[in-house]
Amino acid sequence: MNSSVHKMDTTPLVDSGYYETATAAIRGEAKRLLASGEVAAVIGYTAGRRKGSAQPVILTDADRADSLVFSPACVNNLALYLTKAKKEVSKQGKLAIVAKGCDLKALAGLMGESQLKRENLHIIGIACAGVHGSGVAPGEPLSAATIARKCRECSVHTPEGTDSVAGELPALEPLTALELAELARLEALTPAERWAFWKEQFSRCIRCMACRQVCPFCYCEQCLCDRNRPQGVETTPRPAGNMGWHIVRAMHLAGRCAGCAECERSCPMDIPLNLLNRKMAAELKELYGHEAGMQPQEKGPLAQYKDDDDQSFIK
């Protein structure tokens, strides 16, 4: 058995041919689907303006399928473009979407919330070795130094239940689970110390709402946190409002968050939002045996009421 990689070295974790094979498979499938009229559009990734970067794209023309790519820069969770609020996308008809394993969990969750129907989607899954963490220069090879923290402990490298799978997963060396270690460190703190930790983290929040805009599950057309008549949560970046916003965010996503970590990646203040997401997910698993996004037609425990629900928290 391989020992875990502890140091942040820059040795490439995969051969560049792996990404080329996945890219070729995505292009071939997209071309076939668009040319036959099986789908109205393909949501995938294309090269960005900076060399080595990538960005989401919606293609409707089979002749442009060769502009699709898969690389370590394909960080976005494209499920974001499929919710009911993005009507300009969903009204086009049946769509194909390129999805990494962690994005698939979001698709499954959105199906459970009646935002999507499986029969309206053609899912091109990716056998995914990993993508870049935030702040990595585009074009850098995937390495222990550049890989996203979520990918260090990924359990969904090989997608299941998709219509096709692009690429072949290479042998992957185990990496140290940094996020899990940080969670364990937080768990070992007293409640007062944990409160102080999060208070300090949230004090940096500038309420830019990037974390909300990038989340596939924050699809309400009117967010409670934007309302001012009556005002639900103070909107200026001050301690009380910041704490209110983060509690609302955590509670609204508990049992729904797919763990794609897009919120954390997009946060300009480096607030470790995925730690909080993971803590909430662990609580839901312990209390209700629930894991978000494992089954497409599952309702989260906080979205339903049962007579025999645990009432012990009411004092």
- If the CB atoms of residues 26 and 215 are measured against ligand SF4, the closer one turns out to be 215
279 scored as a contact of ligand SF4 (CB under 6 A): no
Dump the DSSP string for 165-192.
Answer: EES-PPP---B--HHHHHHHHHHTS-HH
Is the CB of 31 or the CB of 100 nearer to ligand SF4?
100
Span of 84-92, 160-168, 207-215, 307-315 interacting with ligand SF4 by CB under 6 A: 207-215
Among 59, 215, 243, 254, binds ligand SF4 (CB under 6 A): 215
- Identify whether the C-beta of residue 279 lies closer than 8 Å to the C-beta of residue 272: no
Going by C-alpha positions, the residue among 170, 176, 171, 126 that lies closest to residue 151 is 176
**By CB under 6 A, residue 206 contacts ligand SF4:** yes
Binding residue for ligand SF4, selected from 40, 156, 248, 287, defined by CB under 6 A: 156
CA gap 264, 148 in Å, rounded: 11
Q: Does 274 bind ligand SF4 (CB under 6 A)?
A: yes
- Reading the block at residue 214, the tokens are 């990038």
Shortest Å, Cβ 118 to ligand SF4:
19
Q: Are strands 121-126 and 95-99 parallel, antiparallel or unpaired?
A: parallel
Stretch that binds ligand SF4, among 7-15, 34-42, 150-158, 192-200 (CB under 6 A): 150-158
Please report the beta strands in the chain, taking only residues with DSSP state E, as ranges in sequence order.
41-47, 54-59, 95-99, 121-126, 164-166
Number of residues in contact with ligand SF4 under rule CB under 6 A: 40
Quote the Cα angle for 163-148-191, to 5°.
115
Interacting residues with ligand SF4 (CB under 6 A)? 100-102, 106, 128, 130-131, 148, 150-151, 154, 156-157, 205-211, 214-217, 253, 257-263, 266-269, 271, 273-274, 277
